[in-house]
Amino acid sequence: MMNKFSRSALLCLVLPLASVVLAESPESWYADGEAAIAKALALKPNQTKAKNIILFVGDGMGISTVTATRIYDGQSRGSSGEENSLAWDALPYTALSKTYNTNLQTPDSAGTMSAMMTGIKTGHGLISVNQKVLLGQCASSKGNQVETFLEQAAQRGMATGIVSTARITHATPAATYAHAADRDWENDADLTEEARKNGCKDIARQLVEFSVGEGLDVILGGGRRNFLPTSEQDPEHPEVTGKRTDGRNLIDEWRAKTQGEFVWNGAQLAVLEKANNRAKLLGLFSPSHMAYELDRPLERYSEPSLAEMTQIAINRLKRNKKGYFLMVEGGRIDHAHHAGNAARALGDGKALSDAVAKALALVDLKDTLVIVTADHSHVFTMGGYPARGNPILGLVHGPDQNGVRATMPTLAADGKPYTTLGYINGPGYAEQASLAAREIAEPNPGRHIHQKVDVQKKGFFQESLVPLSSETHGGEDVAIYAGGPWAHLFHSTHEQNYIYHVMRYAAGFNSAANRK
């Protein structure tokens, strides 16, 4: 039975929030519902062959992140936020993806992206090899590599590209082109003696030596350090050197092999695009991961946005008359969540939406299958009873008796306010104690938040229940959004490896799928 307090709180939610929703009425809600039905009835499945396929992956973008990002994006545009739509919300088909690894209830990015790229599930930490492989044991991977969708596209003469705000050798992009018994083997210094002895190659080397079909056409992301030797300084940060101990400069090797263009900052990329160069393109814009979107304007040298990189990749890849496959990752949503930092996670979620919007403006869904999904979720929560339009990064302010946002924040049972967004575990437990110690004079046991803390600043770490050095992934299903040829095959709750099979069928790679 609902207690008196919770029942009163819920009743407040149905009061008219006139200050926020002046354009809404009971009649308009009904009319919107009827219009949505008419739109659904007019929807016809597209059963033509997909010439092009774009897979967007929001790393760590669970459904709570999608909802919070939608509100964050809307509020950045001056609306209350809840009624806003992100770019992928316009896609007509939606399904759910079960994300577990073969040996983990709550998965990691290597196993989940490998499932999407190879059509089979596998163990955590493994890059496009099957579940027979033992983590970190090179010998066990021999004969157990699994061909990826990108490799199959390249074999058929399609153009291929990968874009990420993470290191281009990180788990998600790596699973498109590499095969490894350990996701951490990003450069040769990371290899174990057993791996060296048994001839396993590091992931950066596999990228540069990728020779399937015509090779990768566009590579844009972070991670320069994995391609440079320890004897060489980074071009942007002279105090930083490469990680490679084999003395090889893989960037120079890639340029010599492909006769392609290499850029390491946004200004160089813009000049190259203006010149309409048709060569293969490698852009590595940071020694490690690229900047969070909220920090990108502060970089010493310009970094392109995810939307800009997506646009450049599509414009280059579409020159191939046989079509293309492009994977775009919003990689740093995940990293911000691991830090317990919702502002930067939502900022990068918004950047992914901008990239999807850019892609949808450039392609025709008549011949291009667009899929937007996540590899896994996070233990990221959105709760309390904040009033409609309450700042998504702010303290909870419930509606007052008139149905409008109350002036004072809602207090928890300990007499302290709390935020709409939080984490079940992570560094927020300790970080709040440190933050509070700097802002109030006396020690304060229990939760360390008070009304003077600026919870909306980008560097605020939300509170967490269980103290961990890094917040963890979540194990629940994530969403799949799709539009274009055969997008209607996403229709239910699917195993994550099903995404590969839809892409393969839509592209006509199945021998039985000889469509026009």
Which are the catalytic amino acids?
109
* Phi, psi for residue 309 in degrees, rounded to 5: -65, -40
**Of 294, 300, 233, whose CA–CA distance to 265 is shortest?**
300
The label of the residue with tokens 């057993």 reads 194
Q: In this structure, are residues 132 and 122 in contact, taking their beta carbons and an 8 Å threshold?
A: no
Label residue 298 exposed, middle or buried (CB < 10 Å: 0-12, 13-18, 19+): exposed
User: Cα dihedral sign for 353, 354, 359, 361?
Assistant: positive
Compute the distance between CA of residue 74 and CA of residue 59 in angstroms, rounded to an integer. Answer: 21
Compute the distance between CA of residue 349 and CA of residue 331 in angstroms, rounded to an integer. Answer: 9
Other C-beta atoms lying within 10 Å of the C-beta of residue 321: 9
| Cα→Cα distances 191→201, 241, 409, Å | 8, 18, 52
Compute the distance between CA of residue 107 and CA of residue 99 in angstroms, rounded to an integer. Answer: 6
Residue 249 tokens read as 């400069």
Continuous segment of H or E residues that includes residue 425: strand 421-426
* Phi, psi for residue 127 in degrees, rounded to 5: -110, 105
Q: Locate the DSSP E strands across 334-394.
A: 368-373, 377-378, 380-382
Which residues are within 8 A (CB) of 430 and not within 5 positions of it... i.e. 6 or more apart?
467
**Of 123, 172, 119, 121, whose CA–CA distance to 148 is shortest?**
119
